[in-house]
Every structure is written in C-alpha cells, then in structure tokens.
Amino acid sequence: MTDTDASTSTNTDARSGIEWSEQLSIGIDSIDRQHKTLISYINELNNAINKDLTANGKKDLVTIVINKLVNYTRIHFVYEEAIIFGFSSYPEAADHKEKHEKLFKGVDVFKERIQSVDINDIEYFEELCTELMMYMNEWLTNHILIEDMQYAIYIKENGIKVK
C-alpha cells in the first residue's frame, strides 16, 4: 500500500489545514509529539497562504514557513529513521526512508515553482500554494496512517522501547 492509498476522516481540507486526532496517534509519544509539531507547521503554512498581505509579502512569508517546515521535517525524519534503522530490524526501513526522500523532492519542486512564479500572477501563486497544502496534508496524514503505523506495530510487537 502506498502513502496515497489511505482514506481518512481526519480534517485535511487544504484551506483549513490539518486537525490532529487520535486517529493519527501511532502510540509512540515522542513521534506523536513530533507529528503534532509537523501539523502545526503545515497549519502555519496555511495561515501564511491565507494572510492578507501584498503579493511580495505573501511570497516571502510562505517561503520562510516552507523552510521552517522542511527544516523541522528533516529533524523528525532523522529521529524516526534512527528508530527504525538503529533500534530495530524493521524490514521496511529502506522503503520508509525512500518515501521520506520522495517527499523532499516533491517539496523542492514546489519551492522552485513558488520562487520562480511571476508575483504579478497572484492567482497562479495562490493555486501553487493550494497545491502545496494539499500535497503536504495528504502526504503527512497518509504517511502517518499507513507507513508510520506499520513500523509502530512492528516496534510494539517486538517489544522495542522507544523514548
């Protein structure tokens, strides 16, 4: 199953951001806290997109928030990968890491498109931002519900303790 195969009742409307629900909890407190932080950054991006600013101001703010989101996501992925590579013999570890790398490639494409957009074409800029929000919302919720749940089950079934 892929990251995009899941359907969820979690609120992932691109205009309203993501709402945390217990459905997104994988039962590993440290990872759940990081997922909540990722959601807060995605929601901060949503707020930046919807702020009433000049076109240049909005583009600058969106770029800043995207960079914050990407930086925190890297920290989260390093932590998560340390768990699945370092503390367990999780058989899907390499595939999981590959999905992380695929996300960064996708976000990089959006960043390049946003940076190169003619700011006078505000409709296209806002369309790109909406696409980015949809991409991030869907990727994160589906990744948690499928991929992260799988390694969480593996960790629990094998009695591995994660702090």
Q: Concatenate the DSSP letters of all residues of the chain into one string.
A: --TTS----S---TTT-----GGG--S-HHHHHHHHHHHHHHHHHHHHHHS---HHHHHHHHHHHHHHHHHHHHHHHHHHHIIIIIS---TTHHHHHHHHHHHHHHHHHHHHHHHHS-TT-HHHHHHHHHHHHHHHHHHHHHHIIIIIHHHHHHHHHTT----
| The predicted structure's pLDDT at residue 15 | 56
pLDDT 10s digits, 14-47: 556 789 999 999 999 999 999 999 999 999 999 9
pLDDT band at 12 (very low <50, low <70, confident <90, very high): very low
pTM of the model: 0.85
pLDDT 10s digits, 76-126: 999 999 988 887 788 999 999 999 999 999 999 998 998 898 888 888 988
Indicate if the pLDDT at residue 11 is higher than 80.
Answer: no
Question: Where exactly are the structural domains of the chain?
Answer: 25-157
The domain covering 25-157 belongs, at the CATH homologous superfamily level, to Hemerythrin-like (1.20.120.50)
